[in-house]
Amino acid sequence: MYKLLLVALGLVLLGGNLAVAQPDPQAKAPDGPQAAPMGKPPQPPKGRPSDPVGDNLFPPDLIMRCADPIGLTDEQKDSIKSQMDKAGGRFKELQQKLDQEVQALGALVKEDRPDTDKALDQLDKVLAAEREVKRVHIALMIALKNLLTPDQQAQIQELRPKIMAEGKNKRPGGDVPQPLQIKMMQVQQQMKQLKAEGRDLGPVQQAMQKFEPLMREKKIAEAEAVLDEALKLLGESEKK
């Protein structure tokens, strides 16, 4: 809801700017050479990234999908897993905090006559929590990029459009939140390792059958619980 509030404010401001820029239909054209009629607005140069931050960083799922083509080493995979484990717990903690702050803001603006000061103070808390989530997200992707060689980074950039398009078509329920992406990568990595060791993955595979249907229904909390169950089963398998 708070995002809708900000969008509405942006539209009001944008509308004000557009109103100022409208030409006066009664105004007399100036003497001298006429300016060329306005065509399409200037386009950014070709090759310019649409997202100067995201286009130069690599989310964990993208790196792991490129693991074989770019020749990701076992050492790099272990380091990636370590970074993801570290960020995973922090993401969950921050996401819970953000959800609490959003719920509190929702309760304030739900009133018939919301208190403006209280609502804006709570909005500041929401934005602060959101900032921390984004900060950890960016820190993780920077750490992952630093684990890759320049050649590997260039290869991922070449493979990115195709892989992201394939992932978007196959991904159930739309975009996957970052904490779930991390847990999904952990499950995939541990399953691959245990399979190579000849371990029984039946219980894990059975548990993961629930995941995609839940994501299609956008039941994020329930889907995350499935991943938690799978990680627990994988941990028990490693101890055997």
Taking only the tens place, the pLDDT of each residue in 58-89 is: 988 889 889 999 999 999 988 988 888 888 77
What share of the chain has pLDDT > 70, as a percent?
73
pLDDT per residue over 109-118, tens digit each? 999 999 999 9
Domain coverage including residue 85: 52-170
- In angstroms, the CA 232 to CA 240 distance is 13
Rg over alpha carbons for the chain, rounded to the nearest Å, is 24
pTM over 0.75: no
3-state secondary structure (DSSP) of residue 148: coil
Q: Whole-angstrom distance between the N-terminal and C-terminal Cα of the chain?
A: 48
Model confidence at 24: pLDDT above 60: no
Residue 47 lies in a domain: no
Q: Please give the single-letter amino acid code of residue 182.
A: I
- Give the mean pLDDT of 225-234: 85
Residue 25 maps to a domain: no
Answer yes or no: is pLDDT of 45 > 80. Answer: no
Q: Confidence class of residue 133 from pLDDT cuts 50, 70 and 90?
A: confident
User: Is 132 among the domain residues?
Assistant: yes
Inside any domain, residue 222: yes
Residue 151 is predicted with a pLDDT of: 96
Same domain, 186 and 103: no
Could you tell me if 86 and 136 lie in one domain? yes
Among 215, 68, 88, 92, residue whose Cα is nearest residue 155: 68
Distance (Å, whole) CA 123 – CA 101: 8
Residue 80, domain member (yes or no): yes
pLDDT at 84: 84
Last-in-domain residue among 170, 197, 216: 170
> Does residue 118 sit in helix, strand or coil?
helix
Do 144 and 61 have their domain in common?
A: yes
Same domain, 77 and 180: no
Q: Are residues 162 and 60 in the same domain?
A: yes
Do residue 213 and residue 200 come from a single domain?
Answer: yes
> Three-state DSSP class for 191?
helix
Q: How many domains does the chain have?
A: 2
Do 105 and 138 belong to one domain? Answer: yes
